[in-house]
Amino acid sequence: MWPRSFWYRIYEPFIRKAAGFGVASKEHDKERYEHKYEYCDLLIAGSGPSGLASAYAAAKNGARVILAEDKPRFGGSLLTSDVSINNQSGKEWADNIITELKGMTNVTVKNRAQIFGYYDHNMLVMSERVTDHLPKSEEFTPKQRLWYIRAKQVVISSGSIERPIVFGNNDTPGVVLASAAKEYMKVYGVLVGKKPIVFTNNDSAYETAIEFKKNNINPIVLDSRQDSNSEIVKEAKSLGIDIKFSHVVVAAKGYKKVKSCDIAEISEDKQNLNQIKNIECDCICVSGFWTPTIHLASQSGGKTKFKEEIDAFVPDKSKQKEVTLGSANGVFTLEETLKTSFDKGFELSKEITNNNNSQQIPKVSEKKHSKHDKFWCVPLPKGKKYKRFLDFQNDVAVSDIELAIREGYRSIEHVKRYTTLGMATDQGKTSNLNGLQLVSNIENKVVPAVGHTTFRPPYTPISIGAIVGREIGKHSKPTRKSPMHNWHEKNNAVFVDAGVWLRPRYYKRGNEGLFEASKREAENVRKNVGVCDVTTLGKIDVKGPDAAEFLNRVYTNAWLKLPVGKARYGVMLREDGIVMDDGTTTRISENHYHMTTTTAQAANVLSHLEYYLQLVWPELDVNVVSITEQWAGAAIAGPKSRDLLQKLFPDTNVSNEGLPFMGFVEANLFGVNARIFRISFSGELAYEVNVESDNGNFMWEKIIEIGKDFDLQPYGTEALSTLRIEMGHVAGSELDGRTIPYDTGLDGLVSKKKDFIGKRSLLKKAYNEKDRQRLVGVVPLDKKTSIPEGSHLVKDPKGKLPNPKLGHISASCWSVEHNNPFSLAILKDGKNMIGSKLYAMSPLKNKTIAVEIVSSHYVDPKGERVRS
């Protein structure tokens, strides 16, 4: 359409809007959604006759039953069909059964509850619309609730859906399914029209015609069959209803709604239309027979089979513990449905409960139906090009399918994707079979040879909110807080997420931002003394006679000779030689070790240790258990830390001789048992004090109180990072799952003498290349510009793309010792690059910075302070 440039800006947006394509809201959904887990003996999907009968039989036999009904009202077809059960109307019988079921303690009955998905091992998911129908939801009452139900047996009694017959202009408003028109009248007291046409190929639509008649409306019935003498047709005739056999609707007429329709007599072979006649009408009630709802049975993994008598697929052999009953299984008589459902409900419950209380099958009176006509699409009259829609939601017409076939699409899966037949939110509930009929007609195949597309959950669209449930915002993952959290909060800590933990990032004073505060805190550690909450570090208790041997296999360095009362830094690898984690482990007593891990890797390390103990070396007598939450930890670091420690523990000798570097001692903190480890992450003289978590706050407040005399300041993770980066101490950003010990400068800790997890991999050629990447320090030449983390190191900043990357910046800080920016990097041939000039480029931050490569140990390279 002209002009071409108008397409994207004007025509298409207009068309999309007209087609009902909306825009998703970006607003937060304020409604409450909940999840629920449930278990039962029998889960019954659908409360029509088969659902009610099987639920009743099973419940009376002692089984735990959940009966779910998608609609607000229970009873399914019984609400509208003209039958009697035990001399009651179908609806009365259904009401009585439901009332009785609701009164039983072993039964859960839910309406507005859609079983929408059938998953592995008999797990089904149900969406219950709790307050959707109410004007305003009450506080703490969910809008919807998602049920995860694990059932021992499942009864699929999901019923069937009426199929349309395809004819010209069949998308005109006023064209409805005959069953829908009947439900409007019988359940809601609404007439869909006053001049109705009932267009059918079977007996069931006659109930709609009779219902119109009962409401003093005179319908005209067009029946594609040549004749029918069934009970219900006779009744319609006796009521004086106008019935035209061998007649069809050729096309609906009317612009905004049906005003009339063209009808014609159709030949016996259904190929030719005789004289076309226009008659006035305001609605066309269509019935092209019934399609069993087999979605759940198919989702469970079972195959389907084509049932010739009803022109539709029904479930074949069940794959999981499930059975399909009633019209969902292609059984359309109430008598048979009730009998098999009562039997099945009893039989399934007996297997579970071993009870033997069977119910008497009620007496049924229903009208016998004659055969339907295998007719589904009205031919086009000569010279007319009416659109004949198959899929009303995605607007797929007969001509679209014909085009797809002409284009060469053969597989039904391809035809579906090319035309979008059945791909709307209704998933082709009314269109799929007619589409299959069409393809099989054109291809001269039978429907089962064409096959059907896959049924996938959800059966109907489900709110995203219901799927997410309460796991939104802060509830999307647990928040772990240290015992000292309240103190941090009261003292202006700004928090940061560290895994699932909340840790103080810095303690704000006045107008300070992150940079000023963390710099002040780090400087104070280097000058005086600081205290940092290190509760979040992973802690694992390792106990048993073989603990030393086990650690010796887990860590790359030697552990057999570590004396009691000493800590050692250790590195553990994965079997592929990549560094997994690092930390210090302390020998508390002969067979008892206290292992620490990084905050992030704590859970993985525990699983790793359990794997080797349980599966690889079960002969080792060792037990491991997480004690992260049992101990609160405070790191006290800085030149004045020993003086502070001595005041905290006056009875303990914490001198350099009494508690040397990497020493450990148990001590008394004003009546509270404490463990003191002389270990350092900051590169300063430092200690870590652990107490049982309940005493964490007590410890912290004592340190703060006594620390005042030593100019102590608490410091957060930002200062902690600064201190470790300028020290060249590796952490998660260097141990990133891509580095081996050599890369991170930890190769000195790799034992040549003993075997350990991952050692064999270190022999790999690539791990031993001469120009292997290695940890280095990076300083900007101007000593001013901070280098963004993640920047690439390149030789030539103007080099042709792709510019060869020599390494990357893993961590950056403002060195408080040198008062200029400093970064760590993993650099190719890093060992021989010290002193060279490169460029750090960050296209994301649009920065190119000239840098010099230096040693990663920017502060105290000989490590004298920690030993002082």
Partner 1 sequence: MLYIKCPHCGLRSQNEFAYGGDASVKRPELNKEISDQEWDEFVYLRKSPRGKHLELWHHVSGCRQWIKVLRDTSTHEIFNTYKSEEKVG
Binding site for partner 1 (CB under 8 A): 119-123, 148, 150, 301, 319, 553, 575-576, 603, 607, 610-611, 614-616, 618, 754-755, 760-761, 763-764
Sheet of 88-89, strand order: 88-89, 84-85, 364-365
Cα gap 553→754, rounded to integer Å: 8
Q: Closer to partner 1 at the Cβ: 760 or 805?
A: 760
Amino acid, res. 248: V
Query: Measured from the CB of residue 607, what is the shortest distance to partner 1 in angstroms?
Result: 6
Query: Measured from the CB of residue 764, what is the shortest distance to partner 1 in angstroms?
Result: 8
Q: Closer to partner 1 at the Cβ: 195 or 319?
A: 319
> Among the residues of 334-463, which ranges form H helices?
334-353, 398-406, 412-419, 432-442, 447-450
Q: Closer to partner 1 at the Cβ: 764 or 818?
A: 764
Q: Closer to partner 1 at the Cβ: 95 or 541?
A: 541
Q: Closer to partner 1 at the Cβ: 354 or 614?
A: 614
Q: Closer to partner 1 at the Cβ: 633 or 758?
A: 758
Provide the token pair at 177: 């399914």
Cα gap 684→687, rounded to integer Å: 9
Query: Measured from the CB of residue 475, what is the shortest distance to partner 1 in angstroms?
Result: 17
Going from the C-alpha of 44 to that of each of 40, 70, 343, the distances in angstroms are: 10, 11, 15
Provide the token pair at 140: 């703490």
Cα gap 439→435, rounded to integer Å: 6
Provide the token pair at 701: 């407040």
Query: Measured from the CB of residue 271, what is the shortest distance to partner 1 in angstroms?
Result: 46
Provide the token pair at 559: 């552990």
Q: Which residues contact 686 (CB under 8 A, 6 or more apart)?
A: 635, 636, 637, 638, 641, 678, 679, 680, 866
Query: Measured from the CB of residue 538, what is the shortest distance to partner 1 in angstroms?
Result: 15
Q: Closer to partner 1 at the Cβ: 573 or 849?
A: 573
Cα gap 588→567, rounded to integer Å: 9
Q: Closer to partner 1 at the Cβ: 320 or 823?
A: 320
Specify the DSSP element, H or E, that contains 696: helix 696-707
Q: Which residues contact 584 (CB under 8 A, 6 or more apart)?
A: 567, 568, 569, 570, 596, 662, 677, 679
Q: Are 816 and 517 in contact (CB under 8 A)?
A: no
> Among the residues of 63-121, which ranges form H helices?
90-102
Three-class secondary structure of residue 10 per DSSP? helix
Query: Measured from the CB of residue 194, what is the shortest distance to partner 1 in angstroms?
Result: 52
Q: Closer to partner 1 at the Cβ: 387 or 759?
A: 759
Provide the token pair at 441: 């007609």
Q: Closer to partner 1 at the Cβ: 221 or 609?
A: 609
Q: Closer to partner 1 at the Cβ: 471 or 701?
A: 471
Report angle CA 503, 505, 506 to the nearest 5 degrees: 130
Query: Measured from the CB of residue 188, what is the shortest distance to partner 1 in angstroms?
Result: 39
Cα gap 123→152, rounded to integer Å: 9
Query: Measured from the CB of residue 751, what is the shortest distance to partner 1 in angstroms?
Result: 12
Query: Measured from the CB of residue 675, what is the shortest distance to partner 1 in angstroms?
Result: 25
How does DSSP assign 627-690, residue by residue?
-TTTEEEEEEESTTHHHHHHHH-TTS--STTTS-TTBEEEEEETTEEEEEE---SSSSSEEEEE
Q: Closer to partner 1 at the Cβ: 300 or 641?
A: 300
Query: Measured from the CB of residue 737, what is the shortest distance to partner 1 in angstroms?
Result: 15
Beta-carbon count within 10 A of 630 CB: 13
Strand 304-307 to 290-292 pairing: unpaired
Beta-carbon count within 10 A of 655 CB: 10
Query: Measured from the CB of residue 746, what is the shortest distance to partner 1 in angstroms?
Result: 20
Three-class secondary structure of residue 33 per DSSP? strand
Going from the C-alpha of 423 to that of each of 341, 395, 439, 682, the distances in angstroms are: 33, 11, 16, 60
Q: How far is CA 606 from the centre of its chain?
A: 26
Phi, psi of 10 (to 5 degrees): -115, -55
Cα gap 777→823, rounded to integer Å: 6
Strand 283-287 to 196-200 pairing: parallel
Query: Measured from the CB of residue 110, what is the shortest distance to partner 1 in angstroms?
Result: 21
Q: Closer to partner 1 at the Cβ: 112 or 553?
A: 553
Q: Closer to partner 1 at the Cβ: 573 or 689?
A: 573
Q: Closer to partner 1 at the Cβ: 15 or 616?
A: 616
Q: Closer to partner 1 at the Cβ: 629 or 864?
A: 629
Query: Measured from the CB of residue 496, what is the shortest distance to partner 1 in angstroms?
Result: 26
Q: Are 310 and 374 in contact (CB under 8 A)?
A: no
Three-class secondary structure of residue 788 per DSSP? coil
Q: Closer to partner 1 at the Cβ: 122 or 836?
A: 122
Cα gap 51→683, rounded to integer Å: 72
Query: Measured from the CB of residue 647, what is the shortest distance to partner 1 in angstroms?
Result: 42
Q: Are 640 and 711 in contact (CB under 8 A)?
A: yes
Q: Are 250 and 270 in contact (CB under 8 A)?
A: no
Query: Measured from the CB of residue 550, what is the shortest distance to partner 1 in angstroms?
Result: 12
> Among the residues of 770-857, which ranges form H helices?
none
Q: Closer to partner 1 at the Cβ: 549 or 817?
A: 549
Q: Residue 61: which of 347, 462, 319 has the closest Cα?
A: 347
Query: Measured from the CB of residue 501, what is the shortest distance to partner 1 in angstroms?
Result: 19
Query: Measured from the CB of residue 763, what is the shortest distance to partner 1 in angstroms?
Result: 8
Q: Residue 33: which of 330, 388, 464, 450 has the closest Cα?
A: 464
Cα gap 842→823, rounded to integer Å: 14
Query: Measured from the CB of residue 549, what is the shortest distance to partner 1 in angstroms?
Result: 10
